Structure 1
Amino acid sequence: NSKGLVVGTAWKDEDTPQAISWKDGKLKRLPLPKGASSSASFASGVNEKGLMVGSSIEGESEGVNGFITDGSKVTKLSAPKSGPALAMGISDTDTVIGFGIPFDTEEFRVKTLRWDSKGVTAFPSPELYNANFAFAISRDGKQIVGTMMRMEEEAQKSLLKSKRYTNAFIAHWKTGFSNGDDGLGPDLTGGAVFPNYLYRSDTENPHAFIVRGGRLVDLNTLIPAGSGWELIFATGVNDKGQVVGMGLHENRLRAFLLSPQ
């Protein structure tokens, strides 16, 4: 933030990522929710007030939950009905975004989550998609972006309930790529690692989205037809509604900046 507070992940050893903060040359390990394992955690966002968010593996279930902390007091962030979740960002209005699997239905579907003073809200995917992941929120808390895709139900379960996949998710903060031995592909999102079958040529590509009016809107519907672009991942957004991310331009992977007209 503007006061020089930085959050991220440090490795105690090769297999132990830890959520940390850094300010004025001092490195501190972030407190974790009660019951969280010390074996794996990461920090992913900080706002102007100094509130920090991240995620940690649960010690007993080996699932994962988000958390928010001021450096001393810490609160666990879960999906509805105590489902697993990852916290990815926080606005200056203290709204936290991420994704998880709500346990309020029998379906196992990864959904964008928003935590605010009213509680936690889950956003279902539009037709044609069954999983969506929020990666960023604007400072004013009004803009949320991410990616949505079709994903096998078993893969969705594994992503947030399997220690192997959760560790691989966290590992991308260290290397930028996941462990090939785990059957996972390169980290193209800046915020997640997905099974590599999603990148096969015979698999429909993910699509970037922005939240508008309480629903997910495909960013590809907001760009001119015939532009040659397919917007895949949205990884950042500002208060003006400008979105950055990755996409395919004439079948080549490129970064993009999308500005509203």
Structure 2
Amino acid sequence: MNRLWQSLARLSLFTALVSGPAICQADVLYSVTDLGTLGGDYIYVSGINNRGEVVGNCTTNGLNVMHAFVYSGGSLADLGTLGGTNSYGYGINDSGQVVGAAYTGSDQDDAFLYSGGSMSDLGALGGSGGDARAINNHGQIAGGAWTSSDAELHAYLYSGGTMTDLGTLGGTRSQAFGINDSGQVVGRASVSGIADYHAFLYSGGAMTDLGTLGGTLSYAYGINNTGQVVGVAYTNNSIQHAFLYSGGVMADLGTLAGGYQSVAYGINSEGQIVGWSDASDAQQHAFVYEDGRMTDLNTEIDTNTGWYLEMATAINDGGQIVGIGAHATNVLRAFLLTPYPVLQISATSSNAIQIQFTAQASTGYLIESRDSLSSGAWQTLLVLDPIASIHTVVITDSLLPGRPARFYRVRSS
């Protein structure tokens, strides 16, 4: 069934010719999709790839059994375990490969890679288990694993079948949470013993302490392909704030209006950041941060949906966001936010109208137009079949003499 994805975009031909591109953006910026469950009462989402596939973990029976899942094509797929009871999905790349942690038959929690329909155990650093938190588009994996005799827990980089110990910042603990396509790894590492964790960036064979916002602790959760890092750090007042580390500087992202604390979990190639912040109501609110501004995602969706968005955990390059929120029944559920297309419309030098927007992966579109907002049939300009990647759509429409205005809309199919 077709659905209207975009409020009407009106192009005044005079405006386009004199002032350049016009951009139309709906007041409601995202659609909300409930990801469902595997039959249980708890669900958590950790990542989303550029095809819109989501990874996380969900109970299959009440609150007792937890399994990793992938959400794709409108349904959840249970990934199973390594022979034990529970599993947890943490990361997914654009090929659909999933990493996480799963219990073995001996109740050991081991890192896994799920690829080609099967789950494989990645082993450890000589100790009894670990986890896999992130995977890039080259199949490189980052996580944490126990060393010999379970003496220390260290971050690792798994590449080409080999697990490499990334060390620590002087203590006995480190854990990786994110990796980009250049193989740069971020996470947290202790600077002494198991205390005072600091965010780190591992690049070029060396682990760098990213510091804090004046306090004693910081964690790095995400990194994009330009090397920008996000996470949480304590201020000199021991308050946790979301941060962006870029160009060698850690910047405090602040909070929503009236808020006290915040955390950033994910960043995409456009520099859009997601996480949560409290606000004047002392409740957690999912946010998106871009162009120097933190916005409550609850103000960007249709309030009639019954959703209250509490935490955003990941964002892909198309701006799709996943997280956790309360539904109309006041039960915590996982959500997927998909941005409505923003039409950029301009007149070309060849006396035509150019329409441009970003299309989501695996989504078909119909682009339509008419000369009056109140009457006349919508005419189809183009039918776009779904393709597997995020892409920019550019089409042209003839600019006819004597036409004072034209209206355009985009529908999903």
TM-score, normalisation: structure 2: 0.44
- Residue in 2 aligned with 1:134? 220
Show structure 2 runs of 5+ residues with no match: 1-92, 293-413
Alpha carbons of structure 1 residues 21 and 126: separation in structure 2 relative to 1, 3 Å? same
Give the RMSD, CA atoms, in angstroms: 2.6
Correspondence for 1:253 among 284, 304, 324: 284
Once the 2 structures are TM-superposed, how far is the Cα of residue 74 of structure 1 from its aligned partner? Answer: 1.4
Deviations 1:63-97 (A, max 9, x none): 21011113621101112357421011110111001
Correspondence for 1:144 among 229, 232, 245: 229
Alignment of 1:6 onto 2:98: yes
- For this pair of structures, how many residues does the alignment match? 199
Q: State the identity as a percent.
A: 24
Alpha carbons of structure 1 residues 209 and 21: separation in structure 2 relative to 1, 3 Å? same
Counterpart of 1:110 in 2: which secondary structure? Answer: strand
- Residue in 1 aligned with 2:356? none
1:43-62 aligned within 5 A: 43-60=132-149, 62=151
User: Which amino acid in the other structure matches residue 145 of structure 1?
Assistant: V
Alpha carbons of structure 1 residues 57 and 118: separation in structure 2 relative to 1, 3 Å? closer
Correspondence for 1:116 among 188, 199, 203: 203
User: Which amino acid in the other structure matches residue 233 of structure 2?
Assistant: M
Alignment of 1:243 onto 2:273: yes
| Bigger RCO of structures 1 and 2 (CA < 8 A, at least 6 apart) | 2
Alpha carbons of structure 1 residues 150 and 18: separation in structure 2 relative to 1, 3 Å? farther
> Which structure is larger by alpha-carbon Rg, 1 or 2?
2
Alignment of 1:92 onto 2:92: no
Alpha carbons of structure 1 residues 26 and 209: separation in structure 2 relative to 1, 3 Å? same
Q: Which has the higher strand share?
A: 2
User: Which amino acid in the other structure matches residue 207 of structure 1?
Assistant: H
Correspondence for 2:120 among 9, 28, 33: 28
Alpha carbons of structure 1 residues 13 and 255: separation in structure 2 relative to 1, 3 Å? farther
Alignment of 1:78 onto 2:109: no
- Residue in 1 aligned with 2:127? 37
Counterpart of 1:9 in 2: which secondary structure? Answer: strand
- Residue in 2 aligned with 1:206? 240
Deviations 1:2-60 (A, max 9, x none): 22211011122585221001011111001322xx312x311000001000111112233
Cα distance in 2 for residues equivalent to 1:218 and 1:133: 13
Show structure 1 runs of 5+ residues with no match: 152-202
Alpha carbons of structure 1 residues 100 and 256: separation in structure 2 relative to 1, 3 Å? same
Once the 2 structures are TM-superposed, how far is the Cα of residue 107 of structure 1 from its aligned partner? Answer: 11
User: Which amino acid in the other structure matches residue 210 of structure 2?
Assistant: F
Cα distance in 1 for residues equivalent to 2:290 and 2:209: 26
Counterpart of 1:87 in 2: which secondary structure? Answer: strand
User: Which amino acid in the other structure matches residue 285 of structure 2?
Assistant: R
- Residue in 2 aligned with 1:125? 212
Alpha carbons of structure 1 residues 229 and 14: separation in structure 2 relative to 1, 3 Å? farther
Q: Which moved more, 1:45-54 or 1:8-17?
A: 8-17
Deviations 1:187-222 (A, max 9, x none): xxxxxxxxxxxxxxxx954111111332321111xx
Alpha-carbon contact 2:264-2:273 (below 8 Å) kept: yes
Once the 2 structures are TM-superposed, how far is the Cα of residue 230 of structure 1 from its aligned partner? Answer: 4.2
Q: Which has the higher helix share?
A: 1
Once the 2 structures are TM-superposed, how far is the Cα of residue 130 of structure 1 from its aligned partner? Answer: 0.8
